[in-house]
Amino acid sequence: MQDLPHRYEVNATAEPDGNVVLKIDDVPQLISAPAAKFGGPGDQWSPEALLVGAVLDSFIFTFRNISRTSKLEWSNLETSAQGVLERVDKVNRFTSFTIRAALTVSPDTDTSRARQLLVKAEAACMIARSLLADIQLEADIIVES
């Protein structure tokens, strides 16, 4: 890892109506539009979905790092996340995120240790910890047969 601070810059172009094109150097562009719940078409990534996706993506990368460091072997991690957007003090904001994780491990794995490492990843998730919202983890450990 490079020394902190890190800086991340995203460029965007937009017209009065339609999609927004997000760009980062040497990365395919990403098209976004308002969520259907805000009158958008519902056929592109929205800012709200991107935020929920960023929380989930960061959780997975954090867990990968923690599991490698802890030498926990696993074969699959299925995840989903839900963000709740509410009106609080006359401002729309995300008030909570729920991360659901199903981790598949071999029969000789200490499942309570595997669960602890998922919890540790949730607590260390950089994107989630950068937000004001509550974060909850629902974790299942699946033992391979």
pLDDT per position as a tens digit, 76-118: 999 999 999 999 999 999 999 999 999 999 999 999 999 999 9
Buried b (16+ CB within 10 A) or exposed e, 20-36: bebeeeeeeebebbbbe
- Please state, in angstroms and rounded to a whole number, the distance separating the CA atoms of residues 116 and 111: 9
Residue 69 binned pLDDT confidence (cut-offs 50, 70, 90): very high
**With pLDDT > 70 as the criterion, what percentage of the chain qualifies?**
100
Question: What residues form DSSP beta bridges with 86?
Answer: 93
pLDDT digits (tens, 9 = 90+) for 3-18: 999 999 999 999 999 9
pTM of the predicted structure, to 2 decimals: 0.93
Write the single-letter amino acid at 9.
Answer: E
